[in-house]
């Protein structure tokens, strides 16, 4: 994982933690053991956090949820 945002700026420690949280949520969304309601909640969280990352130019990834 890069320590830079999509503009080439170094991420702060807080920004890096946001990206790590996003990655954890994306992985959790793929967990086959989640109930449908849990999966829906995680999908909402992934989408919401992606909005933050996108607005801060921290990732060019777009979640498939």
pLDDT per position as a tens digit, 1-52: 579 999 999 999 999 999 999 999 999 999 999 999 999 999 999 999 999 9
Q: Under a CB-based contact definition with an 8 Å cutoff, are residues 5 and 29 in contact?
A: no
Q: Under a CB-based contact definition with an 8 Å cutoff, are residues 19 and 1 in contact?
A: yes
Whether 34 maps to a domain, the answer reads yes
Whether 63 maps to a domain, the answer reads no
CA-nearest of 11, 34, 8, 1 to 53 is 11
Whether 51 maps to a domain, the answer reads yes
Whether 18 maps to a domain, the answer reads yes
pTM of the model: 0.89
- DSSP letter, residue 41: H
Whether 28 maps to a domain, the answer reads yes
Domain span at residue 32 reads 13-55
Q: Could you give the CA distance from residue 36 to residue 25 in angstroms, rounded to a whole number?
A: 15
Please state the domain count of the chain. Answer: 1
Whether 65 maps to a domain, the answer reads no
- Our measurement of the distance from residue 41's CA atom to the centroid of its chain's CA atoms, rounded to an integer in Å, reads 14
């Amino acid at each position: 994982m890069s320590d830079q945002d999509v503009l080439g700026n170094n991420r702060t420690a807080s920004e890096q933690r946001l990206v790590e949280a996003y990655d954890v949520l994306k992985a959790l969304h793929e967990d086959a053991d989640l109930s449908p309601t849990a999966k829906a909640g995680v999908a909402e969280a992934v989408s919401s956090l992606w909005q933050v990352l996108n607005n801060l130019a921290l990732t060019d990834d777009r979640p498939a949820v």
